[in-house]
Structure 1
Amino acid sequence: MTNELDKISELPGHIMDNILSRLPIKDAVRTSILSRKWRYKWSSVPELVFDDQCTSLGGVPSLQPNVQKNLVQIIDEVLLLHTGPIQTFMLCHKGFQATSNIDHWILHLSRVSIKVIVLYIYRGWNYKIPTCLFNCQDLIKLKLLRSEVKIPSTFEGFKNLLSLHLLLVELSPDGLEALISRCPLLKHLQLWKLGIKQIKVEAGNLEWLDVEGALQDVAFGVMNCLKSIRIAFSDNIGNRFGPGNANSSNLHQLFRNLPNIQSLKLQNYSLKYLAIGNVPKTPPNELVHLKCLFTCIDFNSVEEILTAMCLIRSSPQLKLVDFQNRVEDQQTTRIGTTADFWEDHRACCLEKVQVVSIGGISGSEPELELINILLTCSPNLLKMTIRPNSMSGEGKLVRELLRFRRASTQAEVIFL
């Protein structure tokens, strides 16, 4: 009777592996009590994830007084008893802080052909990455949070790395450039608040790029495969940093080597950075594949409006446009009521635009003029979503919009 009911022990090995890979490591170890066949099955699980569930009981945080000590003991025992290959090692416990024990774990991983390392340090000081990490030549994904990285002189590169994420990581600009240049297959790159002011990226196979921080300058080498990019200048750079060539602009320099961009996100002060320099009225045909444009914009800035219009004019395939109002305390140049300014920019490249979103607006004249252009110059527009920063002036805003002609008979205007 017992043998007939013990269906779980008769499962094929690959199904048992699939079950164990979906369980938290703590529950995977507990399967040892199911039967003799399951006793050591967990020790060959290829993916080791140590997160908050490792030190919790029934979804409630553990009452043990020393979570740090408890987690260190768990990781030590799992690595000691593990018998099969380890493909993924993920340490992302929010109560864990940097400790020298990590050095031993990474040394162990460097000897087992590890493919994915995720090391998130949420508490305490930044963890200094040991040089043995750079011996993990089979890595395809590396994610670091709150670490200190120094590239060893003997490092020849991660030849198989496809995805690199550096978040709140301390390293020099030269170190960053050396690391990226020695990952020839890199496709995904995230650089978030690295503590350096200038970033240079050149990776021939890169497809996705996310850059954020208190930056002063960014530079991109030739990247023909890059399709999606997000840039977020978190600090207001003012007008202090411009291109060396007076006839050039940050806009032209940034995108001259990125011919195949399909999605572009410019957040915080990124558009203000691109507006520095001589923004061309008729830009070169550099964004012919761009389909989605998201940007934070100061609607009272002539330079930023010019830059946004330049991006739109150079994007004949543009289908989605999203503007988020970024209100400035002080302005050096204002559009005001200059109708001629807007009239000069009605010949925009909006033939294929289908979706428009505008957020944080108050109904000022520059905002309304831009909405008017988007409505009257977008023959295939399907939906425009408007998110006012206050509901108090919604009635006036609606009345103004009712006066605008729509090039598309299908265009729907939605207020949120």
Structure 2
Amino acid sequence: MLPNFFFNCLALSHFYLKECEIHLPRFFKGFNKLSRLILKSVTLSSDMFECLISNCPLLEDLVQKDIDNPYFMSINAVKLRSFVFRGDIQLIHLENVPVLSNVLYAPRELVLEDQDDFVNIFSSIPALEWFSWNLFEVDNGSTKVIPTRLPSVCNCLKRLFMSWITLEEFFELSFALCIVRSSPNLEEIKIKECILSDGYYFECVPQEVVDEIPASFSNITFNHMRTVKFYDVLLEEVEMQLIKVLLAKSTALVKMVIKHRQMETNKSLNVLAEITKFQRVSSKAEVLYLVY
């Protein structure tokens, strides 16, 4: 248990709390000089967390890892610029973060009850420039709440990194396509797929969704995209469609890196031959096709 005298340390500018339980005392009025806060394996209620954050007016950097609170949390931090989250909380609402630009979000399980839950993740971060998404598990009820595009365009988003995803899974493909379609000023995309274990079940992408991928990008052009990276991809039809679209729509593309999982030599050569035929709108675009 964090002792009460800790909350009298009003000159704190940085602190790192690990493996403790937090209860804010009644006399706590806030840390007015705190700019960086790291919480790891910390137990605290949603109310305590929200009170702590809202009473740190200069907080710029927040890291949460393995927080023992599986429910909803809200963040209100007008100076926050960087946010890292890894843990079990089902949903975090970034309520008032007007200058937040860097986000790494890695929930162990994501539960979305309606489309607003998903849309609000991004609509409340108007200054988002760098977004890293690392997802381990999605609740089955979340597969139908992803829109084709976000209601508000992510004009500031420049770098998008997605790892531990499976593009052959309906929710995760829908998530990836929605964010890419909603971010016309992207400069870099990196997608690293997960290697599924035997017996892993997921909701496959319907064929009609795969067929509609090119048409869903018909009125989109990426004039700032310079680098695209696909790692550990299966290079099935879904990935091939996305590769084809990005080559055809990225006017400033310099490099696309494709590193697929191990496959038979003949199939690998056939895939390479198909990729070389894809239209490239950028005359400078170089495709690096890497094999294990």
Scaled to the shorter chain, the TM-score interval is: 0.7 to 0.9
The 3 A distance-change label for structure 1 pair 332 and 234 is: same
* Whole-angstrom CA distance in 2 between matches of 1:338 and 1:309: 11
- Partner residue of 2:214 out of 343, 346, 349: 343
Using the TM superposition, give the Cα deviation of residue 392 of structure 1 relative to its aligned residue in structure 2, in angstroms: 4.2
The 3 A distance-change label for structure 1 pair 143 and 189 is: same
Are 1:300 and 2:173 an aligned pair?
A: no
Are 1:356 and 2:224 an aligned pair?
A: no
Write the letter of the residue equivalent to 1:284.
P
The 3 A distance-change label for structure 1 pair 129 and 339 is: closer
Contact 1:361/1:389, CA 8 A, preserved across alignment? yes
Which residue pairs with 2:202 in the alignment? 331
Counterpart secondary structure, 1:221: strand
Query: Mean alpha-carbon deviation: is it higher for 403-412 or for 330-339?
Result: 330-339
Are 1:145 and 2:18 an aligned pair?
A: yes
Write the letter of the residue equivalent to 1:288.
N
Using the TM superposition, give the Cα deviation of residue 146 of structure 1 relative to its aligned residue in structure 2, in angstroms: 2.0
Contact 1:255/1:286, CA 8 A, preserved across alignment? no
- Partner residue of 1:371 out of 243, 247, 266: 243
Using the TM superposition, give the Cα deviation of residue 283 of structure 1 relative to its aligned residue in structure 2, in angstroms: 2.7
Counterpart secondary structure, 1:133: helix
Could you say which structure has the higher strand fraction?
Answer: 2
Which residue pairs with 1:227 in the alignment? 101
Write the letter of the residue equivalent to 1:401.
I
The 3 A distance-change label for structure 1 pair 164 and 183 is: same
Write the letter of the residue equivalent to 1:259.
P
For residues 300-333 of structure 1, the C-alpha deviation after alignment (integer angstroms, 9 at most, x for no partner) is 1333323322212221221001112135521224
Are 1:184 and 2:57 an aligned pair?
A: yes
Contact 1:203/1:222, CA 8 A, preserved across alignment? yes
* Whole-angstrom CA distance in 1 between matches of 2:210 and 2:54: 49
Are 1:287 and 2:154 an aligned pair?
A: yes
Query: Mean alpha-carbon deviation: is it higher for 354-363 or for 303-312?
Result: 303-312
Contact 1:361/1:387, CA 8 A, preserved across alignment? yes
Contact 1:211/1:232, CA 8 A, preserved across alignment? yes
TM (normalized to structure 2)?
Answer: 0.88
* Whole-angstrom CA distance in 1 between matches of 2:231 and 2:7: 45
Which residue pairs with 2:118 in the alignment? 251
Structure number with the bigger relative contact order (C-alpha 8 A, sep ≥ 6) is 2
* Whole-angstrom CA distance in 1 between matches of 2:31 and 2:135: 33
For residues 171-197 of structure 1, the C-alpha deviation after alignment (integer angstroms, 9 at most, x for no partner) is 222211111111011000001111211
Which residue pairs with 2:287 in the alignment? 413
Contact 1:162/1:187, CA 8 A, preserved across alignment? yes
The 3 A distance-change label for structure 1 pair 339 and 241 is: closer
Greater Rg over alpha carbons, structure:
1
* Whole-angstrom CA distance in 1 between matches of 2:243 and 2:80: 35
Write the letter of the residue equivalent to 2:177.
M
Aligned counterparts, 1:40-189, within 5 A: 128-189=1-62
Which residue pairs with 1:396 in the alignment? 270
The 3 A distance-change label for structure 1 pair 136 and 177 is: same
Which residue pairs with 1:66 in the alignment? none
Aligned counterparts, 1:254-273, within 5 A: 254-269=121-136
Using the TM superposition, give the Cα deviation of residue 145 of structure 1 relative to its aligned residue in structure 2, in angstroms: 2.1
TM (normalized to structure 1)?
Answer: 0.63
Counterpart secondary structure, 1:398: helix
Are 1:242 and 2:113 an aligned pair?
A: yes
* Whole-angstrom CA distance in 2 between matches of 1:378 and 1:307: 20
For residues 273-297 of structure 1, the C-alpha deviation after alignment (integer angstroms, 9 at most, x for no partner) is 9965543334333411110011133
Contact 2:133/2:162, CA 8 A, preserved across alignment? yes
The 3 A distance-change label for structure 1 pair 415 and 333 is: closer
Identity %: 26
Q: Which runs of 5+ in 2 are unaligned?
A: none
Contact 2:42/2:67, CA 8 A, preserved across alignment? yes
* Whole-angstrom CA distance in 2 between matches of 1:273 and 1:311: 20
Counterpart secondary structure, 2:190: strand
Counterpart secondary structure, 1:321: strand
Which residue pairs with 2:76 in the alignment? 202
What's the Cα RMSD here?
2.4
Contact 2:221/2:251, CA 8 A, preserved across alignment? no
Contact 1:137/1:158, CA 8 A, preserved across alignment? yes
* Whole-angstrom CA distance in 2 between matches of 1:132 and 1:411: 60
Query: Mean alpha-carbon deviation: is it higher for 276-285 or for 256-265?
Result: 276-285
Aligned length: 282
